[in-house]
Amino acid sequence: MTKRTGRHLISLDDLSDADLRAVVDRGARLSRRAAAGEGVGNTALAGDVVGVYFRKTSTRTRTAFSAGALRLGAGLVTYGPDDLQLNTGETTEDTGRVMARMLDVLVARTAGDPAEMRAWASQRRMSVVNAMSAEEHPTQGLTDLTTLAVRFGAVDGLSVLYVGEGNNSAAALALGLSRYRGVRLELRTPPGYGLSGAVLERARELAAGHGSTVTERHDLDDGPADFDAVYTTRWQTTGTSKPDPDWRQVFAPFQVTAELMARSPKAVFLHDLPAHRGEEVTAEVLDGPVSIAFDQAENKLHSAMAVLEWCRDAG
């Protein structure tokens, strides 16, 4: 059998429009098959070995890629934060060179500088998947797009309100949604906690090319309304801390409540989880009838499988 050449997912901005849509559409198809009670496993990665390396905590992403790899017929090697010789001084480059000779895919969460993953991705033998860095959470963005595609039948033309910190999940959402046509994305972020200038500029540039809009404000004073989806994330992002001791006071006005949801009566609620009820969202919303947060979590599996197939060019 001819050895497959690996493809990498470090940032959504690295993907062509066609590749982004292909991964999302594949994840949506797998999600619909699962909902219909059909099996979602296949042998697309039979003979491959997937490494899963997480330095930071994870429930959904780690489980999704581990289960997804197994459902696709791959073998699995898992590493904890203290398992690699990186902790004894081996260089990032040497670690990547060795792994590329043994693994077909490496799924990594560093919560740090993505340059490390780009160093590992400087070859084509082993695919590298960014399962979350400090700047972006691309696999979460693909999950979010998959969830919207399943719920609404298409992502084009949707209006999405994002409320909360402009963190790595928000960055991926902006870089992903801006690639679809006629989308309206409004980000309402606490003062001093918006998207990075570079990500916001790039998302606006992409949106302009697709007839879409990306805006950011630092208040909810106008009562934003008439959205198809309202999205938030927890206020304390995995692997980060905030230097301002009074940050909770700054974030308090940005809670998603039933009153906010009522301004968009047809909207669904999304959350990338884990959630802290009573902080970024009330229990009434998260556990209520408009919440699809746990469907979104399940779609982590379907999206992960789509990513793995795409990386191995096996979809």
Cα–Cα distance measured from residue 13 to residue 4, given in angstroms and rounded to the nearest whole number: 23
pLDDT of the residue at 1: 37
Q: Which CATH architecture has domain 12-136+300-311?
A: 3-Layer(aba) Sandwich (3.40)
Cα(302)–Cα(227) distance, integer angstroms: 25
Digit-by-digit pLDDT tens for the chain (315 residues) are: 345 668 999 999 999 999 999 999 999 999 999 999 998 999 999 999 999 999 999 999 999 999 999 999 999 999 999 999 988 999 989 999 999 999 999 999 987 889 999 999 999 899 999 999 999 999 999 999 999 999 999 999 999 999 999 999 999 999 999 999 999 999 999 999 999 999 999 999 999 999 999 999 999 999 999 999 999 999 987 666 788 889 999 999 999 999 999 999 999 999 999 999 999 999 999 999 999 999 999 999 999 999 999 999 855
Find where tokens 């606490």 sit.
190
Cα–Cα distance for residue pair 116/118, rounded to 1 Å: 5
Q: Is the pTM of this model over 0.85?
A: yes
* Integer Cα distance of 136 and 31 in angstroms: 24
The pLDDT score that the predictor gives to residue 3 is: 53
Sheet hosting strand 213-217, strand order edge to edge: 213-217, 184-188, 159-163, 229-232, 268-271
Q: What is the dihedral angle through the alpha carbons of 228, 298, 255, 180, rounded to the nearest 10 degrees?
A: -40
Contact at 8 Å (CB) between 267 and 151?
no
Radius of gyration (C-alpha) of the chain in whole angstroms: 19
| Cβ proximity of 233 and 297 under 8 Å | no
Q: What pLDDT does 236 receive?
A: 83
C-alpha–C-alpha distance, residues 196 and 138, integer Å: 16
Cis bond upstream, residue 289 (ω within 30): no
Domain ranges of the chain: 12-136+300-311, 140-297
Considering the domain 140-297 in this protein, what is its CATH number?
A: 3.40.50.1370
Burial of 80 (0-12, 13-18, 19+ CB in 10 A): exposed
CB 108 within 8 A of CB 92: no
Contact 280, 236 (CB under 8 A): no
Q: How many degrees, rounded to 5, is the angle at CA 32 between CA 256 and CA 53?
A: 70
